[in-house]
Copies of this chain bind each other. A is one copy, B any other.
Amino acid sequence: MQMRRRQFLQAGVAAGAALVGTAMGAGPILAAQPKAGRQVPGIYRIAVGDIEVTAILDGYIDLGVDLFPDAKADEVEKLQLANFAAVGDKLRASVNCFVVNTGEKLAIVDDGGRNLLGPTMGDMPAGLAAAGIDPAAVDVVIATHMHPDHIGGITTKNGAAAFPNAELVVHADDWDFWMSPENLAGAPDFFKPFFQAAQAAGTPYVKTVRKIGGDEEVIPGVRSMALPGHTPGHTGFVVSSGADTLLIWGDIVHSPLLQFAHPNWSIAFDSSPDLAIATRRRVFDIAETDRLLVAGMHLPFPGIGNVMRGGGFKFVPASWTHTL
């Protein structure tokens, strides 16, 4: 007859059992293991030639379907079902950031929303720590654009630079647009918080900001690519090393569920919707034609993959990389 663990314990051989528990550091071995109750920190690495890119998850955002004025309800439901996504009027999207370590320079592209948009973001400090990255070691903070879910985290709630030794790199057209007191004063009330967030985030970097154009070297191995429309200076960054290339495309896509299938469905707060659509179509075409690896701030974490055609476009998540 077999004697199982609980029978063994019930048989009164408590001393031996306690010894096993102690030796294994398990505490009382009859206690149920508590559930973790939360996801692990989102950290994921890839190699782009000799450059190491680490995706870090700041959190997520639930976008209302009504933020996409051209979206048709029946088509949205069809896409949700086809993609095994929750059916309803919310579209959940990751908020991703990317650390680029060239070996010489340590850069971060976007840093999430801190608490500016509620409690579903703000994991970047914990994520950076889990990834072994000290904010004081970051040389360059690169912003794809100055929306709150991208630059909220670069500044602490006390108004200090979260990256005390870094310069801020951002396209001149974005910096000049969002940092302008006149634009803040002239903005409609619902839009003022976007300017206020950008100005609060940018202020500690006023002395070190490096305003760039749409096609220049940011650091060796990283080049800017103008992708305007979502904001005036919205910019992608091309990471290149050896034969490998990665385009960090910022907010070319806000809802992967909707916009790969329907590139013409723009989000309501594009500064120039027609230009944003043209840019999205152009980038999809380049990415598909060149089989270009892309990384996006709102693609499903880790937000890295390729674009393929077929029924509009479809995002194919990259497989987990086992070795670098």
Contacts and interface: CB of A to CB of B under 8 A. Distances in A.
Interface string A160-200: 00001111000000000000000000000000000000000
Nearest to A300: B319
Contacts of A104: 32
A137 B42 contact: no
A238 B104 CA distance: 50
Given A26-B136, A84-B306, A137-B26, A3 B324 contact: no
Interface in A45-95: 45, 52, 54, 57, 59-60, 82-85, 92, 94
Contacts of A317: 317
Given A59-B322, A60-B322, A82-B308, A134 B26 contact: yes
A155 to B, nearest CB: 16
Given A37-B324, A133-B33, A164 B24 contact: yes
A40 interface: yes
A59 B35 CA distance: 24
Contacts of A318: 84
Contacts of A37: 52, 324
A108 to B, nearest CB: 11
B103 A305 contact: no
A321 interface: yes
Given A32-B103, A207-B2, A207-B3, A320 B21 contact: no
Categorize the interface residue count of chain A. Answer: 35 or more
A270 to B, nearest CB: 24
23 contacts: A3-B207, A5-B165, A5-B166, A20-B164, A24-B164, A25-B136, A29-B137, A32-B104, A33-B101, A33-B106, A35-B103, A36-B45, A36-B131, A37-B52, A39-B44, A60-B322, A82-B308, A84-B291, A84-B305, A84-B306, A92-B319, A120-B322, A302-B320
Given A21-B136, A29-B165, 10 more contacts: A24-B164, A29-B136, A32-B106, A39-B45, A40-B45, A85-B319, A92-B322, A120-B322, A300-B319, A317-B317
Interface of A: 2-5, 20-21, 24-26, 29, 31-33, 35-40, 42-45, 52, 54, 57, 59-60, 82-85, 92, 94, 101, 103-106, 120, 131-137, 139, 164-167, 207-209, 291, 300-302, 305-306, 308, 316-324
The 7 A-B residue pairs whose C-beta atoms are closest, nearest first, are A24-B136, A26-B136, A301-B320, A35-B52, A33-B106, A300-B319, A60-B322
